[in-house]
């Protein structure tokens, strides 16, 4: 049995809620967690195992790594546990804004829609600049 301080558990759960996902190496002897430098890997493993047993996270295991994904029930639980408003969401559920505005179909570069006379396609005279 591992005793985990409340401060450590809260830091782990805050990080989980902020990111929406958590990766944990399956090595209880590892000193520190790879994302949370000041928290032992064993503590992160035990907190995430507890969250998985309550179905607050979905667990995937691959090549000595555990991947945990927050579920809707887990989001509700963490909002209550961390005293967060209902308007706050994990970063995996927020839409990312595009870095530059997207161009509509008629604007900008590209070859448009008219490919006549550009050598595209195969067939009898079509696409080779001949009139139809």
pLDDT band at 101; cut points 50, 70, 90: low
Shortest CA distance to 9 belongs to which of 52, 35, 39, 53? 39
What local confidence, expressed as pLDDT, does residue 35 receive? 79
Shortest CA distance to 56 belongs to which of 21, 93, 86, 32? 21
What CATH number was assigned to the domain covering residues 6-82?
1.10.10.10
112-117 average pLDDT score: 56
* Domain boundaries of the chain, sorted by first residue: 6-82
Longest dimension (CA), the chain: 82
Give the tens place of pLDDT for each residue, 14-71: 999 999 999 998 887 778 877 787 899 889 999 999 999 999 999 999 998 999 999 9
């Amino acid at each position: 049995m591992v005793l985990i301080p409340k401060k450590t558990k809260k830091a782990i759960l805050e990080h989980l809620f902020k990111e929406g996902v958590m990766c944990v190496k399956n090595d209880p002897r590892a000193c520190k967690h790879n994302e949370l430098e000041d928290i032992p890997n064993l503590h992160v493993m035990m907190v995430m195992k507890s969250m998985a047993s309550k179905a607050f996270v979905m667990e995937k295991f691959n090549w000595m790594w555990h991947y945990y994904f927050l579920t809707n029930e887990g989001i509700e639980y963490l909002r209550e546990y961390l005293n967060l408003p209902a308007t706050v969401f994990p970063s995996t559920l927020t839409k990312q804004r595009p870095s530059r505005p997207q161009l509509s179909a008629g604007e900008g570069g590209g070859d448009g829609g008219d490919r006549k006379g550009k050598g595209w396609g195969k067939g009898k005279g079509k696409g080779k600049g001949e009139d139809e």
